[in-house]
Amino acid sequence: MAPRILITTDYLHPGDAVDQLLREHGLEPVYSPSRGPRTPEERRSLFGGISGAILASEPVTADMLTGAAALQVIARSGVGYDSIDVRAAAAQGIRVCNAPGTNHHSVAELTIGLIIMAARRLLEVTSAVRQGRWPREAGHELHGSTLGIIGFGPSGRATASLGVALGMTVLVSTAYPDGDNQAVRFTDLDTVIRDADYLSLHTRGGQRAGTLIDASRLQAMKPSAVLINTARGSLVDEGALANALNDGIIAGAALDVLESEPLPGDSPLRGLDNVLITSHLAGQTAEARARAGLAAAHAVIDVIENREPAHPVDR
């Protein structure tokens, strides 16, 4: 009997390149698309009889892995793996992999797109035009402004390059500065937060990292600044951000990731005019999806065939 490979990523389908690749290696894809929270019973039985899994960003807890006797590998069809209990998986000998470097151009392009939308107030303007008005308030040029970037992995680097191309001064806070990169200025976290006109997050989240942007750091930003988060929802204290937006502590925010997704009905961010919220779309281009799906499939194949995967996160 062929090893069964669970696929929950909702844009992967029977007959596509990932499906064909798995079948070429003697594996049987099994589809259970992630389209919202599963029932407790669905969660308990998700990995039953499964040898490998290509997953969306849904949670994988220690309890879910208890009955996963055949499971050898979990591969995320994306970069983030905060939703997976990596320690519990490792304790059971289950490899955990991700797909870095597959969506950084997509993330960077959306980041700059959100910055442009905020700078030129495009959401407000297009909404007003649809309602029959014709607003002519001035926006702001990006040329000559300061882009602050926290984290300098692939998406941070790609965003920095686009910022430089637009004539922005780019300040970067990272534990791993690139001394050969003369186009940006590496400095400390407090300076980036204080001096940025647009502060963009590109660092890892997770419980161990804790909240990066809290009330005190929002207070340290310019009143005219805009916060952009295309990285992890856990990086931002959303209650503190809502207060800062309501009180004029910062001018605006653009968020592609949230603490809880979809945005809860009672979120303090809901209905605010100075926040743009998109539905976790930064890495969701056709090109990035194709790269990420194949990278995850190759990780599954490598582990099943007793090879070291390219991008393990469990070691």
- The model's pLDDT over 38-80, given as tens digits with 9 standing for 90+, comes to 999 999 999 999 999 999 988 999 999 998 999 999 999 988 8
**Whole-angstrom distance, CA of residue 162 vs CA of residue 18:** 31
- Condensed to tens digits (0 to 9), the pLDDT of residues 277-287 reads 999 999 999 99
Task: Provide Rg for the chain, Cα atoms.
Answer: 21
At 156 the pLDDT is 96
The active-site residue, picked from 76, 121, 232, 298, is: 232
The active-site residue, picked from 261, 287, 305, 308, is: 261
* Average pLDDT, integer, range 96-120: 96
- Condensed to tens digits (0 to 9), the pLDDT of residues 25-37 reads 999 999 999 988 8
At 79 the pLDDT is 86
Q: Is 298 a catalytic residue?
A: no
* Average pLDDT, integer, range 119-140: 95
Length of the chain: 315
- Phi (first) and psi of residue 185, to 5 degrees: -115, 120
pLDDT beyond 50 at 212 = yes
**Whole-angstrom distance, CA of residue 170 vs CA of residue 160:** 6
Q: Is 287 a catalytic residue?
A: no
Buried (b) or exposed (e) across 138-173, using 16+ Cβ within 10 A? Answer: eebebeebbbbbbbbbbbbbbbbbbbeebebbbbbb
The active-site residue, picked from 280, 289, 291, 298, is: 280
At 37 the pLDDT is 85
At 153 the pLDDT is 92
Reduce the DSSP state of residue 276 to 3 states and report it: strand
* Average pLDDT, integer, range 156-182: 95
H helix and E strand count, the chain: 11, 12
pLDDT beyond 60 at 209 = no
At 207 the pLDDT is 47
DSSP string of 124-158? HHHHHHHTT---------STT-EEEEE--SHHHHH
Q: Is residue 42 a contact partner of residue 18, using CB atoms and an 8 Å limit?
A: no
Q: The whole model's pTM is what?
A: 0.88
**Whole-angstrom distance, CA of residue 226 vs CA of residue 248:** 11
Looking at the chain, which runs of residues are DSSP E strands? 4-7, 28-31, 52-55, 73-76, 95-97, 146-150, 169-173, 185-186, 198-201, 226-229, 252-255, 275-277
Q: Is 261 a catalytic residue?
A: yes
